Amino acid sequence: MLNQICVITIKVRDLKSAVNFYTEILDFKVSKHYGDKIVSLVHDDVPIVLEESADGKTGSNVLPGILSKNIESDFSRMREAGVKMLFENPQVCPPGHYFTIEDPSGNQIEIVEFSNL
């Protein structure tokens, strides 16, 4: 069942300045670094992740992530339903796997399965 938001990703141009803003101005704490481009912030309910855009462009700045218990099954079901998929297959990410879809208005949503926690 895909009805639980499990992460909110905020695309940023510069990770260092974004981390400074979210920690110094908004009082978040860093919980984990995933390499040089992704930082997770401490948040009680839904993790907030800052992700530096590879090309410095951010496009869709806020990206909700919906929890999947079976990424392959959910991917197949959505593909069969004609949902617009941004990848040919689920992709590897630091905490597990994900794929990105678009809603009818073009808003992007990530479907995420945590397997590397």
| Structure confidence at residue 56 (pLDDT) | 61
User: Which residue ranges in the chain fall short of pLDDT 50?
Assistant: none
pLDDT tens string 42-62: 877 888 888 887 766 655 678
Structure token digits, residue 11: 């695309």
CA–CA distances in Å: residue 35 to residues 40, 88, 95: 11, 25, 12
CATH of the domain at 50: 3.10.180.10
The domain tally of the chain equals 1
- Entry pTM: 0.70
CA within 13 Å, CB half, 66: 17
| Structure confidence at residue 57 (pLDDT) | 61
| Structure confidence at residue 1 (pLDDT) | 74
Range of the domain at 27: 5-114
b/e burial code for range 32-63 (CB count within 10 A of at least 16 → b): eeeeeebbbbeeeeebbbbbbeeeeeeeeeeb
| Structure confidence at residue 16 (pLDDT) | 92
